[in-house]
């Protein structure tokens, strides 16, 4: 009991440390340092003090709208070497919700600044300051995990931090250095699954079964995505960001198709881990309830549980990818695009393969986990489920 109490307290201490590192105080301290891109421009945080409309003018040729509203925005810089300085910046609204940054008194914004020596040369509003709102939501998320999940919730937060670190500190830098995206992603995914599931489930047969099932499911998803994607001649340029990678200053020769498949693997990892741990946990609980069950009965029980999970989890993946494509699907509907044209577009084919390959990996994780858990947990059982039942009678 004391060990469990100490573990729980240690978990809460870790949570408090994570929350403190993400508090607005810490954020404000980091904001004191300007995010410098080079010697010619940088970004700072500012607060809107006053907004003055200067009238409407005709938009220049090539503008998405026919008119523009000119404004002068008074702002107070709140970060960087010019913190506290008042500044009046020109601002233009193009009557387009995708381009306009409508600001009002008290709004926090991000300023783009071109310095002139130690002074400010040109400046304009680059975007809304959204990071603090994201931070508050992240804090609520972690608190709910800790309060409702207890020590397991704290362990989930730690595993989430490790997953983020693995992606941003290991996977992306390795791909950026030119390493093969697919093999790198598979290795990082296996490592993330191992660490995450071990933190949540501890060192146990259940965890080992979940790791094997997850790794197997992710490997299947990656192999299928590679085979079908290569056969379907996907280019990897279905996203605008892929095109932008061609023009980065480092001039790296990326494997764009490999990056596409790597994204598919990462996209399926979370759902496959969920299925692997759920099935392995169910098999372990069944074994605890009836220690005399043999491997065959445990595998069958795991498959039954997995079938219940399978439908909803497959829907989760497909609905997640479909949700991101709703604007595009509405455009197709508006212009009565023929089905043969839609299905053969690189963008649509990419999303279909992403959703289906991930779902197949998720489905196959169920038998892999069930068989592994059944074989490992069924060792030492001398009687079948029927024999156990008769003995109890």
Residues in the chain: 393
173 vs 167: CA distance, rounded Å: 9
> From the DSSP assignment, how many helices (H) and strands (E) are in the chain?
13, 6
278: CB partners within 8 A, 6+ apart: 305, 306, 309
Closest CA to 302 of 222, 230, 378, 247: 378
Task: Count other C-beta atoms under 10 Å from residue 216's C-beta.
Answer: 20
pLDDT at res. 364: 92
Side-chain half-sphere exposure of 23, counting CA atoms within 13 A: 9
Side-chain half-sphere exposure of 84, counting CA atoms within 13 A: 1
User: In the beta sheet, which residues pair with residue 76?
Assistant: 47, 86
**What's 294's DSSP letter?**
-
pLDDT at res. 3: 46
pLDDT at res. 62: 60
Domain limits, CATH 2.40.50, in the chain = 33-129
DSSP 213-245: HHHHHHHHHHHHHHHHHHHTT--S-SSHHHHHH
Domain limits, CATH 1.20.1640, in the chain = 178-392
233 vs 253: CA distance, rounded Å: 19
Say which residue the tokens 């695009």 belong to: 337
211: CB partners within 8 A, 6+ apart: 193, 194, 197, 198, 276
Say which residue the tokens 């995990």 belong to: 145
- Rounded to 5°, the CA angle 12-18-24 comes to 125
269 vs 219: CA distance, rounded Å: 10
CATH topology of domain 33-129: OB fold (Dihydrolipoamide Acetyltransferase, E2P) (2.40.50)
Sign of CA dihedral 322, 325, 329, 330: positive
DSSP 120-169: EEEEEEEEE--HHHHHHHHHHHHHHHHHHHHHHHHHHHHHHHHHHHIIII
223 vs 150: CA distance, rounded Å: 38
192 vs 175: CA distance, rounded Å: 17
75: CB partners within 8 A, 6+ apart: 46, 47, 48, 49, 86, 87, 88, 89, 109, 111, 125
Helix or strand holding residue 206 (H, E): helix 205-231
279, exposed or middle or buried, with CB in 10 Å at 0-12, 13-18, 19+? Answer: buried
List the pLDDT tens digit at each of the 393 positions of the chain: 444 544 455 555 555 555 555 454 444 444 444 454 455 678 899 999 999 987 777 766 666 666 788 889 999 999 888 888 899 999 888 877 777 888 889 899 999 988 887 788 888 898 999 988 999 998 999 899 888 888 878 888 888 888 889 999 999 999 988 888 988 998 999 999 999 899 888 888 999 999 999 999 988 888 888 898 888 888 888 777 787 888 887 778 888 888 888 888 888 888 889 899 999 999 999 999 888 888 899 999 999 999 888 877 778 777 877 777 788 888 888 988 888 888 888 888 888 888 888 888 889 999 999 999 999 988 755 443 333 333 334
34 vs 124: CA distance, rounded Å: 16
pLDDT at res. 211: 93
pTM: 0.73
CATH topology of domain 178-392: Multidrug efflux transporter AcrB transmembrane fold (1.20.1640)
Strands (E), the chain: 35-36, 42-58, 67-77, 86-93, 108-116, 119-128
């Amino acid at each position: 009991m004391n060990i469990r109490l100490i573990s729980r307290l240690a978990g809460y201490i870790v949570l408090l440390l994570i929350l403190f590192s993400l508090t607005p105080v810490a954020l404000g301290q980091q904001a004191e340092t300007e995010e410098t891109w080079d010697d010619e421009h940088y970004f700072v945080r500012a607060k809107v003090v006053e907004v003055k409309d200067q009238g409407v003018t005709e938009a220049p040729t090539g503008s998405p709208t026919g008119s523009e509203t000119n404004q002068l925005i008074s702002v107070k810089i709140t970060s960087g070497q010019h913190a506290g300085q008042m500044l009046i910046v020109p601002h233009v609204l193009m009557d387009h919700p995708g381009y306009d940054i409508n600001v009002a008194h008290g709004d926090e914004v991000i300023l783009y600044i071109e310095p002139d020596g130690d002074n400010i040369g040109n400046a304009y509003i680059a975007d809304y300051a959204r990071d603090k709102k994201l931070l508050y939501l992240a804090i609520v998320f972690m608190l709910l995990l800790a309060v409702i999940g207890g020590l397991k919730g704290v362990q989930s937060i730690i595993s989430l931090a490790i997953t983020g670190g693995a992606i941003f500190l290991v996977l992306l830098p390795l791909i950026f250095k030119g390493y093969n995206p697919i093999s790198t992603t598979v290795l990082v995914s296996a490592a993330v699954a191992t660490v995450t599931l071990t933190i949540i489930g501890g060192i146990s047969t259940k965890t080992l079964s979940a790791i094997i099932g997850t790794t197997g499911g992710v490997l299947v998803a990656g192999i299928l995505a590679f085979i079908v994607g290569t056969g379907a001649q996907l280019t990897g340029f279905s996203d605008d960001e892929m095109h932008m990678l061609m023009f980065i200053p480092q001039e790296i020769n990326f494997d764009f198709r490999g990056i596409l498949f790597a994204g598919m693997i990462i996209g399926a990892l979370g759902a496959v881990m969920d299925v692997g741990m759920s099935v392995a946990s169910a098999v372990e609980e069944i074994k605890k309830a009836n220690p005399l069950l043999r491997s065959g009965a445990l595998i069958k029980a795991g498959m039954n549980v997995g079938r219940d999970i399978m439908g909803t989890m497959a829907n989760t993946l497909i609905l997640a990818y479909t949700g991101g494509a709703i604007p595009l699907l509405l455009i197709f509907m508006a212009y009565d695009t023929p089905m043969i044209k839609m299905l053969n577009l690189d963008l649509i084919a990419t999303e279909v393969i992403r959703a289906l390959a991930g779902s197949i990996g998720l489905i196959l994780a169920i038998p892999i986990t069930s068989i592994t858990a059944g074989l490992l947990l069924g060792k030492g059982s001398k009687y079948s489920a029927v024999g156990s039942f008769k003995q109890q009678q």
